[in-house]
Structure 1
Amino acid sequence: MSGHEHWQMDASAPELYERYLVPAITSVWANDLLDRVGPRHGESVLDIACGTGIVARLAAQRGHAGRLVGIDLNTAMLAVARAKSATVEWVEGSALDLPFNANSFDVVLCQLGLQFFPDRPLALKEMVRVLKPGCRAGLSVYSAIERTPAAHAFVQALDKYLGAESSRTKRSEHLSCDAHEVGAWAKQAGFDVVDVAIVAKQITFPSMLDYVRFQLTATPMAALLKERDAAERERMILSIADDAASRLDPSMLAGGKLTFPQESFVVTASLR
């Protein structure tokens, strides 16, 4: 995709997520997580909050031949996952009450999902419960939004144009705590050995305008503009994109593209 090619927002939100966000962002983090945890041939793997299934699908592409299961609460996201891969078991269910027996999996993965769970300690305890003794987990979660410049610029522009509460959904994608606190949650849940790495990846979008348009048309933030007509929505998207761009270092907008560092905590944990 060239820097001058605008994204086409003519599909459902889960389809748009798979088409644009998976290549631009989530596949980057999925490969990092798989590199760190290293599921081995034949191991049973559970991908929690799997979305459209990129983590499990990449594990399969790497030659993993054991049981692969993806679980998510979102029916529409799972429909896309099922359409993309028939080799993974796709299950609709909650991270807070996993529908699996204790000691069922060799590896548990959770990419960019922990921040959304209403009871994070319970979700982590459930990961421990379904893991076999001596086995391991990996999870990633966005760090403070100030550590990801494009997201921070976007929420500041949203607050300016749509009011202070408008950025709450986007801010909820990020944890404001530090790495030590995230590690402490895993220890308290029952993991014996815990490591938390602070990892930054370079993320590229075709432009700041495409980044903002995606946020405001293909995510739950679309509700912010739903009462406005099409022309007013487009004017608002353009204004927010211009304002957000003005808050970034010009080097992040070189060549018309948007390129920025995105920071996450990546946790690897194991049971004795």
Structure 2
Amino acid sequence: MTETFQITPEQAEAYEEFLVPALTAQWTDPMLDIAGVAPGQRVLDVACGTGVLARAAARRVGSEGHVVGVDLNPAMIDVARRLRPDLEWRQGDAAVLPFDDDGFDAVLCQASVFFFPDVPAAIAEMARVARAGGVVAIQTFAGLDDQPVYGRFIETVLRHSGEDARSLIDTYFSQGDLPALRATFERAGLRVERVSSRMGVAAYGSWEDLIETEVKNTPLVDRFTDDQIGEIRAESEDLLRRHQGADGSLNLPIRAHLIAGRLP
């Protein structure tokens, strides 16, 4: 997957309604903390989606600060603008940010770098628009080897889909190499100051919601019959049961990495 894909208005609304509370909202405060976002600052949220991080940043910087969200997808921007019309929202590509040099105290990117076709170019762009002494911070997810449940679940899926489908299913975990990310930051002229790894939760209402999200709403859907999905469920039952509530909901542990670097 790359940052060039577009989504529909319905998908953007579903993202805000389901994925934000289930997965992304939990990382906003840690992101703001690791970047040292403070009252009065100018903050840019790159690949902002529907704006959950930008909204949190606006609360942190207060009335004297300024927050801008930028995303490639107009549908995402439309939802973000509906929710917070008082903030500044722009359409733009992370690899060619539509801003002048030295414009922001903090440039943030939450749960999006794995969609970018050229991660080093995007990090370099974030550094370009940060002011001297400013901070660039990202949040991504650890690789599958560091995911106690997702790693094993995805390996089960791949046994049925074929190894050639790996790039279709592990996108979210493809930028989890911390040494590589640190080197990318340093090549962009950023001095890495803080790195954090922490466990969060990916919440699904049911097994069916998990399959809907991870299989049926991805290009993998064409690779499976209903019988194969039933086999995946059977093989995953022991793994997932310990994370299942009495109502059938699933709360799966998911490890995230956060990294912040400062311009000299």
Please state which band the TM-score falls in when normalised by the shorter chain.
Answer: 0.7 to 0.9
What are the superposed Cα offsets for residues 89-143 of structure 1, whole Å, 9 maximum, x if unpaired? 1111111111110001111000112222111111111111101111112111111
Q: 2:221 aligns with which of 216, 222, 225?
A: 225
- 2:66 paired with 1:67: yes
The 1:226/1:84 distance shift into structure 2, 3 A limit, reads farther
The TM-score with structure 2 as length reference comes to: 0.85
- The residue correspondences of 1:112-261 to structure 2 (distance < 5 A) are 112-175=111-174, 178-217=177-216, 219=217, 221=218, 223-225=219-221, 239-246=231-238, 248=239, 250-255=241-246, 256-261=248-253
- C-alpha contact (below 8 Å) 1:156/1:244 kept by paired residues: no
Shift of 1:208: 2.9
Aligned mates of 2:183, 2:132 — CA distance in 1: 20
SS of equivalent to 1:200: strand
Aligned mates of 2:237, 2:175 — CA distance in 1: 23
Aligned mates of 1:241, 1:133 — CA distance in 2: 52
The 1:175/1:163 distance shift into structure 2, 3 A limit, reads closer
Map of 2:107 onto structure 1: 108
Aligned mates of 1:67, 1:151 — CA distance in 2: 37
Aligned mates of 1:177, 1:168 — CA distance in 2: 14
The 1:122/1:53 distance shift into structure 2, 3 A limit, reads same
Compute the RMSD of aligned alpha carbons. Answer: 2.5
Aligned mates of 2:221, 2:60 — CA distance in 1: 41
- C-alpha contact (below 8 Å) 1:49/1:110 kept by paired residues: yes
SS of equivalent to 2:172: coil
Map of 1:262 onto structure 2: 254
- C-alpha contact (below 8 Å) 1:209/1:237 kept by paired residues: no
Where does structure 2 lack aligned partners over 5 or more consecutive residues? 1-8
Aligned mates of 2:175, 2:102 — CA distance in 1: 32
The 1:236/1:42 distance shift into structure 2, 3 A limit, reads farther
SS of equivalent to 2:163: coil
- 2:26 paired with 1:38: no
SS of equivalent to 1:121: helix
The 1:61/1:243 distance shift into structure 2, 3 A limit, reads farther
- C-alpha contact (below 8 Å) 1:43/1:106 kept by paired residues: yes
Aligned mates of 1:54, 1:241 — CA distance in 2: 32
Aligned mates of 2:67, 2:179 — CA distance in 1: 31
Where does structure 1 lack aligned partners over 5 or more consecutive residues? 1-10
The TM-score with structure 1 as length reference comes to: 0.83
- C-alpha contact (below 8 Å) 1:53/1:70 kept by paired residues: yes
Find runs of 4+ consecutive structure 1 residues off by over 6 angstroms. Answer: none
SS of equivalent to 2:15: helix
SS of equivalent to 1:12: helix
Shift of 1:216: 3.3
Map of 1:83 onto structure 2: 82
- C-alpha contact (below 8 Å) 1:183/1:195 kept by paired residues: no
What are the superposed Cα offsets for residues 35-84 of structure 1, whole Å, 9 maximum, x if unpaired? 32232222111000111111001222446332211111122222222222
Q: Which moved more, 1:256-265 or 1:121-130?
A: 256-265
Aligned mates of 1:70, 1:23 — CA distance in 2: 19
What are the superposed Cα offsets for residues 133-158 of structure 1, whole Å, 9 maximum, x if unpaired? 11112111111123224432442333
SS of equivalent to 2:242: helix
Q: What letter matches 1:130 in structure 2?
A: V
- C-alpha contact (below 8 Å) 2:111/2:139 kept by paired residues: yes
The 1:150/1:79 distance shift into structure 2, 3 A limit, reads farther
The 1:164/1:178 distance shift into structure 2, 3 A limit, reads closer
